[in-house]
């Protein structure tokens, strides 16, 4: 082999190595560019994740606040239900008491009515007895001789300041 052929081979080998190094360099640059792009994407993703985490924490706080408000309202509703139940029970008790009072008043009025009827009957019997006694003694009937007096009319009295007119 001639010395020029070995040089040509060495040159070709060098050229091949140079091409391989150039390819590796392009691959490294391409991989570095991809890495930079991935890093930027990762940074954006981290930023979004942080924003999402902040929003999620805020949502949790809002939910906790609403839950606390809901529990407070539930307690108030329960208290109102208890009060409503007590008011109803009190109303029923008062209604029963008033019904008992009304019944007692009706019974009292009925007893008074019966008593009045008995007194009227007793009066009529006494008048009849008096009349019968007078007839048996030939005495004039005292109730027939005296005319009934009409009640006097009440004179209108002028109203003063602060008086109430019932008309």
Segments forming the whole domain that contains residue 47: 10-140
- Say what the pLDDT of residue 6 is: 78
In a domain, 106, yes or no: yes
Q: Which residues, including other chains, have CB under 8 Å from residue 142's CB and lie 6 or more apart?
A: 134
53-62: per-residue pLDDT in tens?
999 999 999 9
Question: For residue 59, is it within any domain?
Answer: yes
Residue 91 included in any domain: yes
Would you list the DSSP string of 77-141?
HHHHHHHHHHHHHHHHHHHHHHHHHHHHHHHHHHHHHHHHHHHHHHHHHHHHHHHHHHHHTTPPP
Low-confidence ranges of the chain (pLDDT < 50): 147
The domain total for the chain is 1
Q: What is the pLDDT of residues 118-143, one digit of tens each?
A: 999 999 999 999 999 988 887 665 55
Assigned domain for 2 exists: no
Amino acid 80: pLDDT: 95
Assigned domain for 146 exists = no
Residue 165 lies in a domain: no
DSSP symbol at 146 = S
157 domain-assigned: no
Q: What share of the chain is helix, strand, coil (3-state, %, to 5)?
A: 85, 0, 15
- The pLDDT, as a whole number, for residue 110 is 94
For residue 35, being part of any structural domain is answered with: yes
Q: Residue 121: its pLDDT value, please?
A: 94
């Amino acid at each position: 082999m001639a010395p020029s052929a070995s040089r040509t081979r060495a040159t070709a080998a060098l050229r091949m190595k140079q091409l391989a190094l150039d390819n590796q360099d392009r691959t490294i640059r391409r991989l570095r560019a991809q890495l930079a792009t991935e890093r930027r994407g990762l940074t954006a993703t981290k930023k979004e994740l942080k924003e999402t985490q902040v929003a999620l924490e805020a949502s949790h706080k809002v939910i906790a606040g609403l839950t606390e408000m809901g529990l407070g309202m539930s307690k108030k509703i329960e208290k109102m239900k208890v009060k409503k139940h007590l008011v109803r029970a009190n109303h029923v008790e008062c209604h029963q008491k008033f019904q008992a009072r009304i019944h007692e008043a009706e019974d009292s009025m009925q007893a008074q009515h019966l008593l009045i009827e008995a007194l009227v009957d007793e009066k009529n019997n006494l008048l009849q007895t008096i009349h019968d006694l007078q007839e048996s003694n030939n005495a004039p009937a005292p109730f027939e001789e005296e005319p009934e007096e009409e009640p006097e009319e009440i004179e209108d009295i002028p109203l003063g300041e602060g008086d109430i007119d019932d008309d």
